Amino acid sequence: METETQNKEKPDAPVNARRGYALDTLAARQSHFFEPRTGAVCTPIFQSAAFRHPALGESTGFDYSRCGNPTRQELEETIALLEGAKYGLAFASGMGAISSIIKIFKPGAHIIVSEDLYGGTYRLFNSYYSSYGYSFSFVDTSDFSKIEKAFLPQTKGIFIETPSNPMMKITDIKMCAGFIHQKGGLLIADNTFCTPYFQNPLALGADFVVHSGSKYLEGHNDTLCGFIAHSKDEYEQPLRDAQMSEGAVLSPFDSYLTLRGIKTLALRMEKHWSNALAVAKWLQTNSKVKAVFYTGLESHPQYALSQKQSRGHSGMISFYVKDIRDVKKLLSGVRLILFAESLGGVESLITYPWVQTHEAIPEDMRRRAGVTEELVRLSIGLENPADLIADLEQAFEGGAAGEK
């Protein structure tokens, strides 16, 4: 790949520097516009563990699928293109990608982390990496003064999730990058919620992007995958070595499914956004709802910042109910929306972070971040928004509307 780093200042210019194609074109047509050997319009599933060597000391570029696979490579190049990165690496899950990115730091390193973040990431850092000599400070990174306060002599990096999960707080990517670079450290941004279609952290100064591709990128609630995207030559080989040595690689079939999902990323994200905006506006008018957190609402406290660093909004909404009994009503009353623990797919899901996605986080930290018993999270899918609103309405009423 001879990609150039995307240096675009303005997030409203979604054109990749490599080919001059817009992001929707790159998502639809991906790294190779067709498979070069056969002309296949879709990248085939190269379901082969090993690849024949033409002669001693010669290789087709592929030897063994843990080290490299043509279907996975097409996906890795595609995520790099979408993120305006030079390099992309695909892993068996988002956690596989996050676990690998932490290894760019040596034991002894201290990392500042968004306190409002995916519970599994908290668990990986706090219960696992902390016993291997790493230390972490979990702070509200949407408040820059808290990052400055958490900085220690041994701080080597900042890991942010923006928008955050589940409170939808926005961290200023450019400001974090400026701060940590001046201290000689690195910025990692989890871009799962926005996807590269709406936000490119590397263009705003982040050094690495990580993704749970299991969410919007793959988009169909049927595959796990994870990514790292970056443009740092000096880190490419160490990251490849980590991927190849540890073996948490994405399979050819899952690579194919993810490539297939990404083809419709642009269409899906636009629809997730308009659907979620309609549902969020309806929730705001609902007398049983205390507060709504959606980055696409003008009432979001950081709406201006999110408009500045992102081009759109995902399908993720969180809200507080006034009466805690309504949580149970909602979770057991929904018919169309499914009570399940993921996000970013075709099907709308409702989640209770307190006991599901964020249970791994200690209670006091959960409360500090706003993750209380009253908080409900929605991943708005691709159904008709009127049907979703009607479903929530009947669930709030205790399912009184009857079967549709």
Ligand X SMILES: *Cc1c(COP(=O)(O)O)cnc(C)c1O
* Least distance from ligand X to the Cβ atom of residue 120, Å: 5
| 276 counts as binding ligand X under rule CB under 6 A | no
CA distances from 71 to 37, 52, 183, 241, 285 (A): 13, 17, 39, 19, 47
Closest distance between ligand X and the C-beta of residue 304, in Å?
A: 23
Tell me the residue length of the chain: 404
> Is residue 190 at the binding interface for ligand X, with CB under 6 A as the rule?
yes
Q: Which one of 46, 105, 118, 227 is in contact with ligand X (CB under 6 A)?
A: 118
CB of 227 to ligand X, least distance (A): 10
- Which of 87, 118, 294, 352 is an active site residue? 118
94 makes contact with ligand X (CB under 6 A): yes
Contact call for residues 101 and 114 (beta carbons, < 8 A): no
Residue 118 a catalytic site member:
yes
Angle at 164 between CA 239 and CA 246, to 5 degrees: 20
Report the alpha-carbon distance of residue 82 to residue 53 in Å, rounded.
32
Does the protein bind ligand X through residue 99 (CB under 6 A)? no
Of 95, 266, 334, 382, the one binding ligand X by CB under 6 A: 95
Compute the distance between CA of residue 186 and CA of residue 176 in angstroms, rounded to an integer. Answer: 9
User: Does 226 contact ligand X by CB under 6 A?
Assistant: yes
Residue with tokens 């796990």: 224
Exactly one of 65, 71, 99, 212 binds ligand X (CB under 6 A); which one? 212
Residue with tokens 């589940």: 166
- Give the nearer residue to ligand X in terms of CB position, either 165 or 255: 165
Respond yes or no: is residue 215 known to be catalytic: yes
Which runs of consecutive H residues, i.e. helices, occur in 103-169? 119-123, 144-150
| CB 372, min distance to ligand X, A | 20
- 34-42 contact pairs (CB < 8 A, 24+): 42/259, 42/260
Stretch that binds ligand X, among 43-51, 92-100, 317-325, 391-399 (CB under 6 A): 92-100
Q: Is 66 a catalytic residue?
A: yes
Residue of 31, 43, 142, 192 interacting with ligand X (CB under 6 A)? 192
CB atoms closer than 10 angstroms to residue 389? 17
**Segment near ligand X (CB under 6 A); pick from 91-99, 168-176, 234-242, 258-266:** 91-99
Q: What are phi and psi of 157, to 5 degrees?
A: -170, 170
Of 26-34, 115-123, 151-159, 195-203, the window that binds ligand X (rule: CB under 6 A) is 115-123
Binding mask 159-188 for ligand X (x = CB under 6 A): --x---x-----------------------
| Contact region with ligand X (CB under 6 A), list: 27-35, 207-215, 333-341, 395-403 | 207-215
Nearest to 385 by CA among 272, 254, 292: 272
284 versus 342: smaller Cβ distance to ligand X: 342
Q: Which of 92, 141, 101 is nearest to 121 (CA)?
A: 101
Using CA atoms, how far apart are residues 213 and 209, in angstroms rounded to an integer?
Answer: 12
Q: Is the dihedral of CA 22, 25, 31, 36 positive or negative?
A: negative
Sign of CA pseudo-dihedral 58, 64, 66, 69: positive
When asked if residue 115 is in the footprint of ligand X (CB under 6 A), the reply is no
**In this chain, which of 45, 62, 120, 365 binds ligand X, going by CB under 6 A?**
120
What is the smallest separation between the CB atom of 165 and ligand X, expressed in angstroms? 5
Provide the binding-site residues for ligand X, judged by CB under 6 A: 93-95, 118, 120-121, 161, 165, 190, 192, 212, 214-215, 224, 226
Active site residues per annotation: 66, 118, 190, 215
